[in-house]
């Protein structure tokens, strides 16, 4: 297996050498997809989600207004950030999805944002919303989706080359694929999450939201996500890791926040998730 990883990493390195770099962290990025194609995929995915008849777009001002307020300030901060040119080219849009059971939010390439009402209890207030939105917006601005697709393609190509070169059979190829996922791709996705945490923290602070709320946000997340998989088997860092990192980045974020024009912050509407749906009893024969 050591020989396998040595050959695979060398192959992927040759396939991915010489690309862009993140303007905040200087991390090298491998991108095969153009920004126009990426934005088009984001538009299509957004339209598909919102066009689903099962998806209910909230029209409640108490739910929609705070998300729109936070989005307006986060977008304005993004347009002055190191991603300014990209942020200015995005066709931004934000919607709130009425789903009290789903704790989720995302931002797609091109600036398409969605928040589910089920995440309101964790966000708690507009500072918490800003921490989440800053994180999600950075995924789009930093082109993490395109990078992940590009790296997966390179990894699959590299895997095919290496398994042939080392004469691996079907079973060996399957195990090698699992090793690639755990050893390379999952940590790579975790690096995206940490990068979005860091830059999103700075973006929210620049938008005038207290970055200290991000630590309390993830403490609430930790309490509501008992039973999560071990960090090495997850695409996201463990909550404890995130909290520790955020605390280390806090002095930088607070320096930005102290200079920023402070946002007016309100509490979010109370959301009571519906009880879990009961599974139907098995039919008696």
State the DSSP string of 126-169: HHHHHHHHHHHHHHHHTTHHHHHHHHHHHHHHHHHHHHHHTT--
Dihedral sign (CA 70, 72, 73, 78): positive
Confidence class for position 9, pLDDT limits 50, 70, 90 = very low
- Contact by Cβ (8 Å): 103, 224: yes
Q: Give the pLDDT confidence of 250-265 residue by residue, as tens digits.
A: 999 999 999 999 999 9
Higher-scoring residue by pLDDT: 189, 102: 102
Higher-scoring residue by pLDDT: 90, 15: 90
Q: Give the pLDDT confidence of 12-70 residue by residue, as tens digits.
A: 454 444 467 889 988 887 667 788 888 888 888 999 999 999 999 999 999 999 999 99
- Contact by Cβ (8 Å): 211, 131: yes
Residue whose pair of structure tokens reads 């050591």 in the numeric block: 2
Residue 167: the pLDDT is 46
What are the φ and ψ backbone dihedral angles of 228, each rounded to 5 degrees? -65, 155
Of the candidates 281, 273, 224, 265, the residue with the CA atom closest to the CA atom of residue 65: 265
- What is residue 132's three-state secondary structure? helix
Mean pLDDT of 160-169: 44
Our separate counts of H helices and E strands in the chain read 11, 5
Is residue 171 predicted with pLDDT exceeding 80? Answer: no
Residue 145: the pLDDT is 79
Sheet holding 105-108, edge to edge: 93-97, 112-116, 105-108
| Enzyme catalytic residues | 136
Instruction: Give me the domains of the chain, ranges plus CATH numbers.
Output: 2-15+31-259 (3.40.390)
Mean pLDDT of 170-175: 42
């Amino acid at each position: 297996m050591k020989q396998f990883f040595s050959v695979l990493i060398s192959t992927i390195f040759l396939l991915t050498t010489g690309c862009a770099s993140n303007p905040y962290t200087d991390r090298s990025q491998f991108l095969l997809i153009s920004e126009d194609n990426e934005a088009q995929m984001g538009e299509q995915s957004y339209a598909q989600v919102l066009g689903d008849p099962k998806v209910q777009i909230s029209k409640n001002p108490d739910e929609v207004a705070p998300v729109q307020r936070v989005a307006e300030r986060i977008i304005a901060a993004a347009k002055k950030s190191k991603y300014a040119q990209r942020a200015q080219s995005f066709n931004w849009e934000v919607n709130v999805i009425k789903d009290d059971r789903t704790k989720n939010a995302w931002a797609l390439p091109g600036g398409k944002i969605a928040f589910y009402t089920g995440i309101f209890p964790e966000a708690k207030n507009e500072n918490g919303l800003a921490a989440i939105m800053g994180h999600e917006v950075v995924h789009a601005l930093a082109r993490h989706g395109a990078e992940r697709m590009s790296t997966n393609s390179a990894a699959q190509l590299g895997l095919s080359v290496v398994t042939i070169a080392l004469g691996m059979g079907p079973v060996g190829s399957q195990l090698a694929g699992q090793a690639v996922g755990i050893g390379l791709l999952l940590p790579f996705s975790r690096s995206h999450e940490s990068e979005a945490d860091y830059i999103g923290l700075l973006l929210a602070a620049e938008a005038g939201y207290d970055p200290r709320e991000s630590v309390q946000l993830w403490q609430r997340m930790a309490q509501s996500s008992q039973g999560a998989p071990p960090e090495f088997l997850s695409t996201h860092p463990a909550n404890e890791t995130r909290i520790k990192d955020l605390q280390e980045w806090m002095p930088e974020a607070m320096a930005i926040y102290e200079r920023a024009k402070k946002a007016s912050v309100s509490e979010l509407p109370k959301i009571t998730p519906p009880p879990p749906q009961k599974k139907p009893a098995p039919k008696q024969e």
